[in-house]
Amino acid sequence: MGNCNDRPTFNLNSVWKERLLVVRVLTVQFIALCTDTFLYPFFPQEATAKGLTPTHIGIVFSSFELARFVSSLATGCLVSNISFNICIL
């Protein structure tokens, strides 16, 4: 049987650091989504005034999401190979 002292210690300070890190990441994600949201109501009107078709407008909007998808895959590979804290910096 194992010794009771073999259990990992509970450090309240590290829990708060992890929570603060999660709050920081969520704040950055929220700001990134807000910047996209500001474009959605105004871009189609301005783009049609410049002569773009609805198909081209859809391609522009989908390119934002495609870039986000590709960057999330790259970030996932980086986080698995490098420390999470280093990637946040």
Q: Would you list the domain boundaries of the chain?
A: 15-82
pLDDT at 82 over 80: no
What is the pLDDT, as a whole number, of residue 57? 92
Of 72, 40, 73, 74, whose CA–CA distance to 58 is shortest? 40
The more confidently predicted of residues 32 and 82 is 32
Q: What is the pLDDT of residue 16?
A: 81
By C-alpha distance, which of 76, 75, 41, 77 is closest to 61?
A: 41
Helix (H, G, I), strand (E, B) or coil at 70: helix
pTM of this structure: 0.55
- Who wins on pLDDT, 86 or 60? 60
User: In terms of pLDDT, which residue wins out, 2 or 22?
Assistant: 22
Q: In the predicted model, what is the mean pLDDT of the chain?
A: 81
* Residue 2, pLDDT score: 53
Q: What is the pLDDT at residue 59? A: 94
Please enumerate, as own/partner, the contacts of 61-70 that have beta carbons within 8 Å and a separation of 24 or more. Answer: 64/36
